[in-house]
Amino acid sequence: MRKIIHIDMDAFFASVEQRDNPEYRNIPLAVGFDGPRGVVSTASYEARKFGVRSAMPIAQAKRRCPHLTIVMPRMKVYKEVSGQVREIFHQYTDLVEPLSLDEAFLDVTDNKFGMESALEIASEIRAKIFEQTQLTASVGVSYNKFLAKISSDMNKPNGIFVVNPEEALDFIAELPIEKFWGVGPKTAQTMHRMGIFKGEQLRAVSLMHLTQVFGKSGQIYYDFVRGIDTRVVEPERERKSVGCEETFLEDIHSETKLIIELYHIVLQLVERLTLNGFEGRTLTLKIKWDATSQHTKSITVNNVLRTKEDILPLAKRLLKETNRQGRAVRLLGLTVSSPANDKRSDYRQEVWEEGTLDFLD
């Protein structure tokens, strides 16, 4: 049986700011650009009590918390602290899979100290993180990535939660469907209409029905609710892209609604770029009309794509250039690729690529 740990630094950017600036401690704090188009990157736990969340427009955050303090991100500092934390991980295992600057999976089955208890390893890692960085982390421990990830959210902030194999099915049965990895708000709404609110109700749905409704994801939900996740922890590799996408509950016909959805996807993408410290110069739009085909269109530019101002105009242009012919849209996604440290000469000009990929959902 594998021993998997998921570690999530608590309110990472905000916590670093509160550590380095005593005047920010114990007050509602948000990291982000304080302007009319600014977005919250990370909110402190004091701010979260007022409903301030990541990816929320700064203006909305201020309405929810009028006394909110906002500070600009210091990515160089966050990357340095993240490096310190990863060095601690590698003291125990080389099987470390970073998901972002503040989050990672560790496979400690065959760890460097020959320790039998994954809980003991997790406790030591948390203690070392605090000792060396004065920051806290929440940790989940289980036998696969799905359960370890879910577990790390159960005792936030600054806690540990363990799901052992013999208790996994009972734990999953009581898990709200919104807690399942991969179930977003729209998927949760669909499940609610199907009478699925907890794991035990999801487990009662056949694989055939789940795949009919959710496509490939149906198999994933079917496995997860049975405690099955065969994905391995993949050691750190150079990230080639960062992206996000949204499958709509109902197909969108309106151009105005499509632009609104595109805007929200851009905000999500900017947040992920910031969290991962990724810099790229190619933007790809993915658009799906039906269950059997998808269309992609890309543009590569000279400048690094970091902000909403960088990305949104290009995203609108890509959307306009797609040959929709009045067809309704069921999925929309954006990806930034071509890492900035790649010195290929095609960055000197805009490069348009277009293609359609047939596949079964």
Instruction: Measure the CA–CA gap between 124 and 118, rounded to whole angstroms.
Output: 10
* Range of weakest confidence among 25-39, 69-83, 195-209: 25-39
Domains 169-224 and 241-358 share a fold: no
Instruction: Measure the CA–CA gap between 23 and 26, rounded to whole angstroms.
Output: 8
CA distances from 332 to 2, 222, 265, 289, 295 (A): 36, 25, 8, 9, 10
pLDDT, averaged across the chain: 89
Instruction: Give the pLDDT score at 241.
Output: 86
Instruction: Measure the CA–CA gap between 211 and 225, rounded to whole angstroms.
Output: 14
Q: Residue 132: name the closest of 93, 82, 171 by CA.
A: 82
Q: Which class in CATH covers the domain with range 169-224?
A: mainly alpha
Q: Which class in CATH covers the domain with range 1-163?
A: alpha beta
| Cis, peptide link before residue 57, omega less than 30° from 0 | no
Q: Which residues contact 209 (CB under 8 A, 6 or more apart)?
A: 218
Instruction: Give the pLDDT score at 207.
Output: 97
CA distances from 352 to 96, 111, 243, 245, 333 (A): 36, 47, 18, 20, 17
* Range of weakest confidence among 141-150, 215-224, 247-256: 247-256
Instruction: Assess whether pLDDT exceeds 60 at residue 354.
Output: no
Instruction: Give me the CATH topology for the region 241-358.
Output: Dna Ligase; domain 1 (3.30.1490)
Q: Where are the domains of the chain?
A: 1-163, 169-224, 241-358
SS3 assignment, position 204: coil
Decide: 258 and 332 in contact? Cβ < 8 Å: yes
Model's pTM, two decimal places? 0.71
Instruction: Give the pLDDT score at 238.
Output: 66
Q: Which of 17, 97, 103, 246 is catalytic?
A: 103
Where are the strands (E) in 253-344, listed by range? Answer: 280-288, 293-305, 329-339
Q: Which residues contact 82 (CB under 8 A, 6 or more apart)?
A: 12, 101, 102
Q: What is the 3-state secondary structure (H, E, C) of 232-277?
A: CCCCCCCCCEEEEEEEEEEEECCHHHHHHHHHHHHHHHHHHHHHHC
SS3 assignment, position 136: coil
The one-letter amino acid code at 248 reads F
Helix 75-92 and helix 12-20, axial crossing angle in degrees, nearest 10: 110
Instruction: Assess whether pLDDT exceeds 90 at residue 322.
Output: no
Instruction: Measure the CA–CA gap between 149 and 171, rounded to whole angstroms.
Output: 14
Instruction: Assess whether pLDDT exceeds 80 at residue 236.
Output: no
How is 142-185 classified by DSSP, letter by letter? ESSHHHHHHHHTTT-SS-EEE--GGGHHHHHHTSBGGGSTT--H
103 is catalytic: yes
